[in-house]
Structure 1
Amino acid sequence: MELSTVHAVLLDMDGTLVDSDASVERAWTTWSAEHGLDPDPVLAIAHGSPPERTVRRVLPALGDAAVAAASQRQMDLQYDDLADVVAAPGAHELLAALDRLGLPWAVVTSADVRLAEARLGAAGIDPPLLVTVEDVQRGKPDPEGFLIAAGRLGVDPAACLVVEDSEPGLASGRAAGMRTAALRGLDGDLRIADLAQLAHLLERARPRPSGRDAVGHRR
């Protein structure tokens, strides 16, 4: 994949920019027990999707009000569980490289703003643009979140690189007409072992700017 034509990088949060796997698994395990469900099938589909989508898939008989309550309960379990939430391997290296290269970036997450800000803060990451589940009508794998991010950054979707670690997230990026970099051995236009590898590839493909142009300004 030609990285020299990438003009913005759009990153998922959980499992991509932030290592929150243990917190997510604890929350879904507790929630599953409360609903009399085996947590393993729930965990198998929960990663990368908004809670409401997962709730509807595992409890299809619930009405809208019950789905909303069950989804909120799942989020409540996660808000204060930050003990082992840290930046993902290579995250700070990648963000430093994006700054040096003048590439704008954003976080596009299925979490709500309260959870996103808590986890990013625990990881020491302050994104210039954050798009959460509250900004969209349809969560991943719908492309809406990534398209919103591209629009707010003023970058053509075709010039954006989506970095994801889940199938719903990668499907969302592809549906937005963007190129994808995949973690965890998943299929994307580019497969990466970690974010440090992506930093290296971007710096090798792009000369460092002598000054910031319109694309390089954070918005």
Structure 2
Amino acid sequence: MVTLPCAAVLFDVDGTLVDSTPLVERAARVWAVEYGLDADEFLSGAHGRRTSDRVADFLPAGQVAAATARLDALEAERTDGITALPGVLALLTSLNGMPWALVTSMDKEQLRVRTGVAGVPLPPVVVTAEDVARGKPDPSGYLLAAGRLGVDPSACLVIEDAPAGIAAGRAAGATVLAVATSHDRAELTGAHAIVPDLTHVAGAPGGLRLTR
């Protein structure tokens, strides 16, 4: 067993706490056809990033807002397939008063719906896509969350599942723990530690305990 010391935990959401992959992929495939894009290419780099940032990789600036709104609308049409990932609720319970926050590339309404369906509680500090000018891999979201908690970023533990989020956590100066729930371990080597999922993580005095 290994303990990662921290004074607060900053969680990514989609792919870390909540799995909405079937919904996201289904909507993206419909959307890509409408815009004449390759869905697999779009999806290959979409996870962990704000929708608008990924859309901007493919469409002219003047089309990004409308195209993003269309993709968001397609995702909002259904909620089937959204679940809490293994170990999530047990880990949150085990924090025993340690401050924690959510830092997500989703917007506020997506976060509300998906966490609600999955049964994941919302903490007092939540940073969503609307709260930052630049999304992951920029560290703005994690820096903002640490500031709102009143904890130095270097004393925070970021938990992420995607390379963009890992890069954001590292750039913020935090320790980063990766969960291999959406990407191969080989893509997560930027993290300080990697676990298969959150069933291998629990709260401990002064940090989080990792188990094999």
Normalised to the residue count of structure 2, the TM-score between the two structures is 0.89
Counterpart position of 2:65: 68
How far 1:140 sits from its partner (Å)?
0.6
Secondary structure in 1 matching 2:136 = coil
For 2:92 and 2:8, how far apart are their aligned partners in 1? 12
How far 1:38 sits from its partner (Å)?
1.6
Q: How many residues align?
A: 200
Deviations 1:124-162 (A, max 9, x none): 112212110011111111100011100111111001011
For 1:63 and 1:156, how far apart are their aligned partners in 2? 36
Secondary structure in 1 matching 2:158 = strand
Mapping 1:115-154, distance limit 5 Å: 115-128=110-123, 129-154=125-150
Compared CA separation, residues 56 and 118, structure 1 to 2 (3 A): same
8 Å Cα contact 2:8-2:99 kept in structure 1: yes
For 2:34, the aligned partner's letter is E
Counterpart position of 1:12: 12
For 2:61 and 2:172, how far apart are their aligned partners in 1? 30
For 1:85, the aligned partner's letter is I
8 Å Cα contact 1:9-1:163 kept in structure 2: yes
Max radius of gyration: which structure? 1
Counterpart position of 1:216: none
Counterpart position of 1:193: 196
Runs (5+) with no aligned partner, structure 1: 208-219
For 2:3 and 2:143, how far apart are their aligned partners in 1? 19
How far 1:29 sits from its partner (Å)?
1.1
Matching of residue 166 in structure 1 with residue 162 in structure 2: yes
Matching of residue 93 in structure 1 with residue 94 in structure 2: no
Provide the aligned C-alpha RMSD in A.
1.8
For 2:42 and 2:20, how far apart are their aligned partners in 1? 17
- Runs of 4+ in structure 1 displaced over 2 angstroms? 1-5, 202-207
For 2:76 and 2:13, how far apart are their aligned partners in 1? 15
How far 1:205 sits from its partner (Å)?
6.9
How far 1:33 sits from its partner (Å)?
1.0
For 1:196, the aligned partner's letter is T
Runs (5+) with no aligned partner, structure 2: none
For 1:57 and 1:198, how far apart are their aligned partners in 2? 35
Percent sequence identity over aligned pairs: 47
Q: Give 1 or 2: higher strand fraction.
A: 2
For 2:41, the aligned partner's letter is P
